[in-house]
């Protein structure tokens, strides 16, 4: 395929990069990558060794010594050039993301656009790393706070967003003066390698040292555990399951490191009698089947008022019957494959549990086979009528299963149902009733990190801080003031007088 050649993806690729140079280790095993689109072999990656990892960390430490002294606007200029470079390779990289991961081509291209957008955002942020000046209680004193870079910031990204989440972290960390280490999912390493190839020329053109943007592809049991335990890494951003996040937090906190966690989601859309249904149905369907239900912000639950339940149910069913499932590189298709056969098995097992608990599958659920479905990764998105308290509904199944839940009475009851799960990432309400909308957004409303009115749960803009509460993890990435997570805060007080008055009026005479 032409896009592989354009992106520098070879039949066999090395798995460690310091941004400019690649290692040549071949004795740690070879990761073979097959596309979920058609089951065909794409390429392989030689896994990194522990020696490779240690060399990358040392190189990154040395690069940080230089990078942190570069003025932030100049660091922003490098990020600006990376954004321009990504624009040149948007189409081939978007194709690779789609082919390697299985999301639609539109979503693949959109993911690369997200990288470009965060570069633009970070360039502006490079001139706005603001601190506050506070009024001192002591005469002839000035007090203020400022922010300094942390050091090596590590991004552990998941398969469903092979490149975008890395850019959220790496670009903001870069303008903050940090260097980045990237450990991508072993299911989609080629997109990460391609990204390193794209930005390499920017680093060389600007005569920058190795180690500002680093890549390590290795087993979680070896390289992953080294990262978690490494005191040289002050901050790790982790996207993954709740269990992964729980383990990582325990390990990293023991060494007093910091984490940004983006874990499970069990996102709901509330549909009230005052909703604009046409808009709501579009948001529900895209949220449920986009990326084949493999987004942390995918719509899992729809909580519908009993007075409009049958009408909404019928509209969703009609929309699902019009969905086209197939090769995601064909832009006529709405739904592509799941990431692998293991994900298909999880999908099928979840449907069995729904029935066992008393739920009813009202649409879909088939594993598709035959022409065009040879990879074994295609399924028919499912819709189920359930109760919110079912154990399977309380979990996040990373697959296209949409739960329909009926509520009675006022919107307070719907909000209670929405919040009655352990996850707290994204949420939405469809209503034209101002009081319902404001109640949803107030302190006793949605308990999620993201709460939307008249838009769905999926497809957040980069301008807002992204992240969730409860077992979704903690911390924020991307927009707003999320940049502060990548820096250490320092409070400074300057005495420009000739006396030494103490705070709180304390007297100490010698």
Residues with catalytic annotation?
262, 296
Beta-sheet strand order (sheet of 16-17): 16-17, 213-216, 179-183, 152-156, 235-239, 258-262, 473-474
CB count in 10 Å sphere of residue 142: 14
* CA neighbor of 375 nearest in space, from 330, 345, 338: 338
**What is 116-162 written as a DSSP string?**
HHHHHHHHHHTT-----EE--SSTTEEEEEEEEE-SEEEEE--TTST
* CA neighbor of 49 nearest in space, from 17, 67, 73, 27: 27
Can you tell me the distance from the alpha carbon of 487 to that of 129, in angstroms, rounded to the nearest whole number? 10
Can you tell me the distance from the alpha carbon of 342 to that of 367, in angstroms, rounded to the nearest whole number? 12
* CA neighbor of 423 nearest in space, from 268, 265, 262, 247: 265
Can you tell me the distance from the alpha carbon of 374 to that of 151, in angstroms, rounded to the nearest whole number? 46
- The β-bridge partners of 156 are 183, 238
Instruction: List all residues 6 or more positions away from 174 whose beta carbon is below 8 Å from its beta carbon.
Output: 67, 75, 78, 79, 122, 180, 212, 213
Can you tell me the distance from the alpha carbon of 305 to that of 384, in angstroms, rounded to the nearest whole number? 16
CB count in 10 Å sphere of residue 321: 9
Which contiguous run of DSSP H or E holds residue 382?
A: strand 382-385
Can you tell me the distance from the alpha carbon of 341 to that of 476, in angstroms, rounded to the nearest whole number? 32
Assess contact for 175 and 123: CB atoms under 8 A: yes
**What is 463-478 written as a DSSP string?**
TSEE--EETTEE--EE
Instruction: List all residues 6 or more positions away from 420 whose beta carbon is below 8 Å from its beta carbon.
Output: 388, 389
Can you tell me the distance from the alpha carbon of 255 to that of 390, in angstroms, rounded to the nearest whole number? 38
Assess contact for 334 and 289: CB atoms under 8 A: yes
Q: For 271, phi and psi rounded to 5 degrees? A: -120, 115
């Amino acid at each position: 395929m032409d896009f592989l050649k354009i992106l520098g993806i070879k039949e066999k690729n090395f798995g460690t990069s310091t941004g400019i140079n690649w290692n040549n280790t071949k004795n740690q095993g070879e990761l073979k990558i097959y596309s979920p689109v058609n089951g065909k072999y794409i390429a392989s990656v030689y896994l990194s060794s522990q020696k490779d990892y240690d060399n990358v960390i040392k190189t990154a430490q040395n690069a940080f010594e230089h990078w942190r002294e570069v003025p932030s606007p100049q660091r922003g200029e490098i990020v600006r050039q990376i954004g321009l470079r990504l624009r040149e390779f948007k189409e081939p990289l978007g194709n690779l993301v789609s082919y390697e991961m299985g999301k639609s081509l539109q979503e693949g291209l959109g993911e690369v656009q997200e990288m470009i957008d965060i570069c633009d955002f970070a360039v502006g942020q490079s001139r706005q790393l603001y601190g506050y000046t506070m009024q001192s209680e002591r005469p002839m004193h000035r007090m203020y706070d400022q922010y300094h870079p942390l050091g090596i910031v590590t991004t552990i990204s998941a398969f469903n967003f092979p490149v975008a989440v890395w850019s959220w972290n790496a670009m903001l960390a870069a303008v903050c003066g940090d260097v980045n280490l990237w450990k991508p999912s072993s299911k989609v390493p080629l997109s990460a390698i391609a990204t390193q190839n794209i930005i390499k020329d920017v680093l060389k053109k600007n005569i920058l040292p190795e180690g500002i943007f680093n890549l390590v592809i290795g087993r979680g049991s070896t390289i992953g555990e080294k990262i978690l335990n490494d005191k040289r890494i002050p901050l790790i951003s982790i996207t993954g399951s709740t269990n992964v996040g729980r383990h990582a937090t325990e390990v990293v906190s023991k060494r007093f490191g910091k984490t940004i966690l983006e874990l499970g989601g069990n996102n709901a859309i509330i549909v009230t009698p005052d909703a604009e249904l046409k808009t709501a149905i579009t948001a529900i369907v895209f949220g449920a089947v986009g990326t084949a239900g493999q987004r942390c912000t995918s719509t899992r639950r729809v909580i519908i008022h009993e007075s409009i339940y049958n009408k909404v149910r019928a509209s969703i069913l009609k929309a699902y019957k019009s969905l086209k499932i197939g090769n995601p590189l064909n832009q006529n298709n709405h739904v592509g494959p799941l990431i692998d056969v293991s994900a298909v098995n999880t999908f099928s097992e979840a449907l069995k549990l729904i029935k066992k608990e008393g739920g009813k599958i009202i649409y879909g659920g088939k594993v598709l086979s035959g022409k065009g479905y040879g990879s074994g990764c295609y399924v028919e998105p499912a819709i189920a009528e359930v109760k919110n308290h079912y154990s399977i509904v309380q979990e996040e199944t990373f697959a296209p299963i949409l739960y329909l839940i009926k509520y009675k009475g006022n919107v307070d009851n719907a909000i209670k149902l929405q919040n009655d799960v352990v996850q707290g990432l994204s949420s939405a309400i469809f209503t034209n009733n101002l009081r319902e909308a404001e109640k949803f957004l107030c302190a006793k409303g949605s308990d999620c990190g993201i709460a939307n009115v008249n838009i769905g749960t999926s497809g957040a803009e980069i301008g807002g801080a992204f992240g969730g509460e409860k077992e979704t993890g903690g911390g924020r990435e991307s927009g707003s003031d999320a940049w502060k997570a990548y820096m250490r805060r320092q409070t400074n007080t300057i005495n420009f007088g000739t006396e030494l008055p103490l705070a709180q009026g304390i007297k100490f005479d010698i």
